[in-house]
Amino acid sequence: MKDNDIKRLLYTHLLCIFSIILSVFIPSLFLENFSILETHLTWLCICSGFVTAVNLVLYLVVKPNTSSKRSSLSHKVTRFLKCCIYFLMSCFSFHVIFVLYGAPLIELALETFLFAVILSTFTTVPCLCLLGPNLKAWLRVFSRNGVTSIWENSLQITTISSFVGAWLGALPIPLDWERPWQVWPISCTLGATFGYVAGLVISPLWIYWNRKQLTYKNN
């Protein structure tokens, strides 16, 4: 494993973190009374757009899984459409799961769906950028000893940390603290965001610390 690969991974993760920071500060320059708590749904849409755009740009620039075969235009269009379908399926699947776990079915449905969108942005979008719409590759990466690169190792960590952050964010909701961030689904989305950022920071450090023990099939 080359240290340059780890540095490249670190730089891409820093840009992803920077995209979240921009989603907080740039809209406040153009939107009156913009804030994460007061205009939470607007921020969710903006943050999702920023993170998705940065992931797509990084994929086009870095190309960690570059194929030796040139794809035709029709293949690229088909792949893009499949990725869009996978993303929408992820959003609706998360929405259903949230409802099954106690989220309001009809009331606050938009809030629940946008929570599903932001969680899909943190988990599904990186998978689609790195692995494409390939369920076999997804199952391989998230199975034991299934990763073949540091990028897939990082994908494991950031995805799991996003889920854990969203779950931890739900814990304060039933508590009688009467805080504004306890309103559904603010604490969950903040938890998912902090979990995603934590994964982006932890994964390069963990990979660097364990670089001598890590071996991959394609190395």
Cβ atoms 170, 187 nearer than 8 A: yes
- pTM for this predicted structure: 0.92
156 or 3: whose pLDDT is higher? 156
Cβ atoms 37, 180 nearer than 8 A: yes
Query: How much is the pLDDT for 71?
Result: 67
Radius of gyration, alpha carbons of the chain: 18
Cβ atoms 151, 65 nearer than 8 A: yes
111 or 175: whose pLDDT is higher? 111
Cβ atoms 20, 50 nearer than 8 A: yes
Query: How much is the pLDDT for 65?
Result: 61
Nearest to 196 by CA among 44, 3, 51: 51
Query: How much is the pLDDT for 52?
Result: 96
Residue-wise pLDDT tens digits, 76-131: 899 999 999 999 999 999 999 999 999 998 999 999 999 999 999 999 999 999 99
Sequence ranges of the domains in the chain: 1-63+72-215
Whether the per-residue pLDDT at 218 is higher than 90: the answer is no
Query: How much is the pLDDT for 194?
Result: 98
151 or 65: whose pLDDT is higher? 151
Under the banding of pLDDT at 50, 70 and 90, the label for residue 133 is: very high
Whether the per-residue pLDDT at 58 is higher than 50: the answer is yes
Q: What share of the chain is helix, strand, coil (3-state, %, to 5)?
A: 70, 0, 30
Under the banding of pLDDT at 50, 70 and 90, the label for residue 219 is: very low
Q: What's the whole-number average pLDDT of the chain?
A: 90
- Residue 183 to residue 70: CA distance in whole angstroms: 49
Percent of the chain whose predicted confidence (pLDDT) is above 90: 71
Q: What is the secondary structure of 73-88 as a DSSP string?
A: HHHHHHHHHHHHHHHH
